[in-house]
Every structure is written in structure tokens, then in C-alpha cells.
Amino acid sequence: MQAPLMNMQGQEVGTVELPDEIFNIEVNEAVMHQALVRQLANKRLGTHKTKTRGQVRGGGRKPWRQKGTGRARQGSIRAPQWRGGGTVFGPQPRSYVKRMPRKMRRLALRSALTVKAQAQEIIVLDDLEMNAPRTKAMVALLEALGVERKALVLLPEANDNVELSARNLPYVKTLRASYLNVRDLLGYNVIIMPQQAIEVIASFLGVESEPEAVAEEE
């Protein structure tokens, strides 16, 4: 699959080849959904906790005698029906971690990249460099590229000037290509990346070639 190659002034300077095994596969929506649910679940801390009647302070004495008062029998003022009492079946600390095979995680990333490529929501730059961290420079770049919606900027490696230039823009996020994930791919409308980032993505999402079978000598 080919995509136009743009410069930072918004001019088309050529074309770039996007690997078909990454940007042009049969989309698997079920795996994408599973990967997104897994990522959101793994982000949860699971530190929620409520106290049971045995953990609430107080309530060691029977509030009134068992019989003869005309009231319902009660054994503790920390029972669940009392104000300030314990909670029945309340949330307790737990782990929400979900596991997913590596091949399925990579398939989800390829599917998400294919969706963006087919929707022409991937912009490839010949280079992305800034001399100093300036928010105005990032705004000018987005205007030159015609980007008016949420944008994800993929970087091949750490770049302080670009990252600091985009930090104050609430609709722009910078991310290293090696940290690519389904949530960010699906959560932003436009993906902007220099062509060096394609090589980084291909390094871990490229289809691994199967080893050739070697015939044993008789």
C-alpha cells in the first residue's frame, strides 16, 4: 500500500510504501475489541475496599436486651442495617489483569493500523524535527497538514523538542512508535508519523518468516 509523503510545510514530496502485512490485512474486529478491553482492564488499580461488620470499629456490646423491649432484636450496632455499619459483599482489593497471547496483541495492532490506513487517516512525513520546543511550531505543523481533530504523533525515538511542543495541546499526544497500543490508535482521529517510525513499527509487527526445513542427510 502506498501513501503520500508530506513535508512539514504540508506539501506532497513523494510517496512511501506501507508494508501490506501491517497496513493492509484483513481486519479482525473481535481481536481489536479484546485487546482494547484488556488494556483498559490492566489500567485499573483495583484498590477499592469497603469494611465488613467485623472490620468496622465499635459494636462490641449488644445495643439492648433480647426480649421485653418491644423492638426488633439486635446484636450489634455495626450490623449492615445500621448507619455506620459494615457493608455486605462490598468491593475488595483485586487484580483486573487480563492476559492475551503476543500474536493476538500484534494482530490487533495490525488491524487498527489497517483501519487507519484504509480510512486515509495516516499522514507520513519525510522528517519531523524542531529546533526548539515551541507550541506555535506544532500548531503551524498541524495547520499545514490540515489536521483539525485529535492527532497522535508517533516518534521513532525520544525527541524532547517535539514532545514539549505538543504537551500543551490537549488534542495532540506524542508517543514513541515502540509503545504503540490499540487504545491510542483508535482514540485519535489522525496518526502523524515520520517515515522512520514505519521502520520501528515494522521491526516488531512484521510477519516473522518461518525457518526453512532442512532435509536430513541419509
- DSSP result, 114-125: HHHHHTT-EEEE
- The hierarchical CATH code for the domain 2-44+98-205 is 3.40.1370.10
Contact 32, 112 (CB under 8 A): yes
* pTM for this prediction: 0.81
Encode pLDDT of 13-44 as tens digits: 888 989 999 999 999 999 999 999 999 999 99
Residue 135 to residue 150: CA distance in whole angstroms: 16
Beta strand 12-17 pairing with 2-6? antiparallel
Contact 121, 190 (CB under 8 A): yes
Give percent of the chain with pLDDT exceeding 90.
81
Per-residue pLDDT at 167 exceeds 90 = yes
CATH 3.40.1370.10 residue ranges of the chain are 2-44+98-205
Contact 49, 92 (CB under 8 A): yes
Average pLDDT over residues 54-82: 94
